[in-house]
Amino acid sequence: MAPEEVTYLHLQPVVIYEEDARDLAQRLDAFLKASRSSLVILIDRSGQIIAERGYARKREADELAALAAAAFAATEQVAKLIGENSFSVLFHQGEERNIHLSVVGESALMLTAFDDRTTLGLVRLYAGEAAESLMPVVQRIQSRSGPADLPDVGDRKLFAGS
Amino acid sequence: MASINYAQREITCKIVYYGCALSGKTTNLEYIHDHVPATEKGGLVSLSTQGDRTLFFDFLPLEVQDVGGFTAKFQLYTVPGQVVYNATRRLVLRGVDGLVFVADSQWSQAKENVESFQNMIDNLSQYGYSLDSIPYVLQYNKRDLPSVAPPHYLDFTLNRRNRRVPVFETVAPNGVAVFDCLNAVCRLVLAKLRAA
């Protein structure tokens, strides 16, 4: 039996500096304006947010990112079952709001929420352009290794419970 | 994988509760969700079957303000314990920063615990991860039940790698040692990030 394929992922943390955040925000804002969408979240494949712009309730973006990354990972496995490497776009249509999910390179996803003030075609068109412009920034961020100047928590009880 | 955002002064880490079916992974998250102040948590998202068994995962975002000038965000996930859901277990492990292995302490589950622990190692290896390089703790759960194996037996079967890890004897529905275990894994993950 052939050995199963191993996907090597690095365990180094992703480090985002002011300059990266500014570059991402500029590109995501341009996309939001052009596509007339209400929210865009740049997510790494493990479900963590790299950047977000637009309107989301507090912590709504965390849940959206975790669920979207999982949905994308699951459909990637479905794609493999039918001989495709991956599906590059996922679209979920609601009655009032819709979700468009597309890849940004191999390690990130872009989630866009939009309503009837725009169209799927417009979102798709500008999502492709946005992915191109975001890719170099994402690669720059993900190619760094982690810094050492993080806080020492020692024995601090982070969560007390009640 | 963890992210450190200097622009927003945020550290975000992913912690996965792993273990065999019905060992109490979801119960851990439910207890934590019920006993963390609203300012420190998001909603508990559960993707479960009609019979309340985990189908894909549970997800609970937590955060702590002012950790050395950062907000530390911990995203807690569980995996589905049932053997048939291995593909989804593997997906949840992607980008994991820390693990809590939840063992069912009952004698009757001894084999299932060992198989699940090995399954965790195998699934990590699919991403090129090794348990030797990921912070993790062990949780011996259901200590209130009558027919449980003693901790030294569970150590013998589960905590026998070169690196011995912290162990917590828990009763998840009552919260016994649940927060001690959570705090321990969070501290280990932050310490590992600091040393990166």
The dihedral of CA A59, A60, A63, A69: what is its sign? negative
Domain positions in chain A are 18-142
- Beta carbon pairs, A and B, within 8 Å: 167
What three-state secondary structure class fits B17? strand
B173 touches chain A (CB under 8 A): no
CB atoms within 10 A of CB A161: 16
pLDDT at residue A5 tops 80: no
What was the pLDDT predicted at B21? Answer: 94
Burial A19-54 (b: 16+ CB within 10 A, else e): ebbebbeebbeebbebbebbbbbbbbbbbbbbbbbb
Looking at beta carbons, which residues of chain A come within 8 Å of B32? 159, 161
Mean pLDDT in residue range A23-34: 98
Q: What is the pLDDT of residue B29?
A: 97
B70 in Cβ contact with B10 (< 8 Å): yes
Supply the pLDDT for residue A159.
92
Under CATH, what is the fold of the domain B3-195? Rossmann fold (3.40.50)
Q: What CATH architecture is A18-142?
A: 2-Layer Sandwich (3.30)
Residue of B nearest to A142 (CA): B3
B52 compared with A147, residue with greater pLDDT: B52
pLDDT of residue A147: 60
How confident is the model at residue A155, as a pLDDT? 81
Q: pLDDT at position A131, please?
A: 96
pLDDT value, residue A3: 43
Q: What is the mean pLDDT of chain A?
A: 88
Scanning every residue of chain B, which has its alpha carbon at the shortest distance from the alpha carbon of A151?
B68
Distance CA A61, CA A57 (A): 7
Residue B188 confidence (pLDDT) above 50: yes
Average pLDDT value for residue range A113-131: 96
pLDDT, mean of residues B119-145: 95
What dihedral angle (degrees, nearest 10) is formed by the CA atoms of B84, A67, B5, A86? 70
**Average pLDDT of chain B?**
94
Q: Tokens representing B36?
A: 């963390």
- For residue A144, the model assigns a pLDDT of 79
pLDDT of residue A37: 97
Q: Which of B64, B91, B175 sits opposite A74 (nearest CB)?
A: B91
Contact list in A for residue B29 (CB cut-off 8 A) is none
B36/A contact by beta carbon, under 8 A: yes
The B residues from 131 to 160 touching A (CB cutoff 8 Å) are 133-134
Q: What's the distance, Cα to Cα, between the start and end of chain A in Å?
A: 52
Lowest mean pLDDT among A69-73, A94-98, A119-123, A131-135: A69-73
Q: Where are the domains of chain B?
A: 3-195
Least-confidence region, from A61-75, A126-140, B141-155: A61-75
**pLDDT for res A8:** 52
Residues of B with Cβ-Cβ distance to A138 under 8 angstroms: none
Whole-number pLDDT of residue A1: 39
Query: For residue A115, is pLDDT > 60?
Result: yes
Rounded mean pLDDT, B48-62 = 86
d(CA B50, CA B62): 26
Backbone angles phi, psi at A33, to 5 degrees: -65, -45
Q: Is B40 on the interface with A (CB under 8 A)?
A: yes
